[in-house]
Structure 1
Amino acid sequence: MDEKGGAIMLEELAFEIAKAAHAGQTDKAGLDYILHPLQVAAEMTTDEEKAVALLHDIIEDTDMTANELLAQGLPDNVVEAVEALTKKHNQNYAAYLAGVKKNRLATAVKLADLKHNSDLSRLEKITQKDRERAEKYRKAIEYLSK
């Protein structure tokens, strides 16, 4: 319950979990990592999409598990989408994207995530590896948009 006596909003709960889990992490540009999920969430429209966006890297990049997310009170469909967005160790990228595409929430969030990650203007110095990654993401956007 929040201070007003109502249930904590889904987006707020997701933000608090993500902020704590990503504390101390930085992105490729050296910025606080939580800014990335916040920017992806800003592109979403529903509370569920925003919650998934805030949590989209949490299982892959932290020690948090799906069961812990459920125990925190997140709905099954949000956690399932976060799991779909979690690339497994040694998983083929095409197989990963096919799994994402099977989940509507995961697909919406992944498209926004890919668009944000493709924005090379946020990097101080652009390398060939950055260009190759942006091209990989462009192809993924094309696939997920079909």
Structure 2
Amino acid sequence: MAGPSVAGPSVAGPSVAGRSAAGPSIADAVALATWAHNGQLDKAGEAYIGHPLRVMETVGRTAAGAGVDVAHARMAAILHDVVEDSDLTVTGLATAGYPSEVVAAVDALSHRDGEPVECYLARVAADRIAVVVKRADMADNSDPVRLARLPAERARELTIRYAGRRRLLDDLVVRNNAVVRNNAAARRLPENGPAAGGPQDHGAGHERS
């Protein structure tokens, strides 16, 4: 599948009545994803739109606990495959008024042609909304109920694949969080000597209380 384009036409999807002046709504995003995935089937031969709908439902339950905006995460979830699987572009989503956080997450979640999985997941791990969506995406793709509809060998292959990718994503997120914490700690350090009010040298004749 073609990777995301950073230049291209504006979103040419359906027009949803009642669109807010503040930008597209969740209903708009669902309509756009339904249009983008029209006629597409998943690995089990079912309508593909069921997958992003399930991912959006899962994200609706997990986003708050992950500390990300629930509405933005749900919107990114329903749109997470539209750039890969249709003529829609990242620029088109931005032009259509989708929030920058949503556009950035969809961009992070969209594979580039020939991109190693490690590079792809590193980009996902750097975006908090994308991480929440990707975890829900992999959970749905490795759901035993869905995999049971596939040939046994294919189901086994996908189970192993997604287990490995979940571990890799988790490792990358841990590393990113450590870098963020270290950078934050470095910014808090005083430039010259101890911070005001810190421990002072009281000399040999004094004891610290």
Give me the TM-score of the superposition, normalised by structure 2.
0.64
User: Aligned partners of 2:97 and 2:44: how far apart in 1?
Assistant: 32
Paired position in structure 1 for 2:167: 142
**Rg larger for:** 2
- How far the C-alpha of 1:57 sits from its partner, in A, is 0.6
1:44-69 CA deviation, whole Å, 9 max, x = no partner? 13111110110011111111101111
Gaps of at least 5 residues in structure 2 are 1-15, 61-69, 175-209
Paired position in structure 2 for 1:58: 82
CA contact (8 A) 1:10 1:48 kept: no
Q: Percent identity?
A: 36
Cα distance change on mapping 1:85 and 1:5 into 2, 3 Å: closer
4+ residue runs of structure 1 moved beyond 3 angstroms?
A: 1-9
Paired position in structure 2 for 1:11: 26
Gaps of at least 5 residues in structure 1 are none
- How far the C-alpha of 1:23 sits from its partner, in A, is 0.8
- How far the C-alpha of 1:130 sits from its partner, in A, is 2.8
Q: Secondary structure at the match of 1:24?
A: coil
CA contact (8 A) 1:69 1:79 kept: yes
CA-based RMSD of the aligned residues comes to 2.0
Matches within 5 A, 1:97-116: 97-116=121-140
Q: Secondary structure at the match of 2:40?
A: coil
The count of aligned residue pairs is 146
Greater percentage in helix: 1
Matches within 5 A, 1:25-40: 25-40=40-55
User: Aligned partners of 2:28 and 2:18: how far apart in 1?
Assistant: 14
CA contact (8 A) 2:109 2:130 kept: yes
Give me the TM-score of the superposition, normalised by structure 1.
0.90
Paired position in structure 2 for 1:21: 36
Paired position in structure 1 for 2:100: 76
User: Aligned partners of 2:104 and 2:22: how far apart in 1?
Assistant: 22
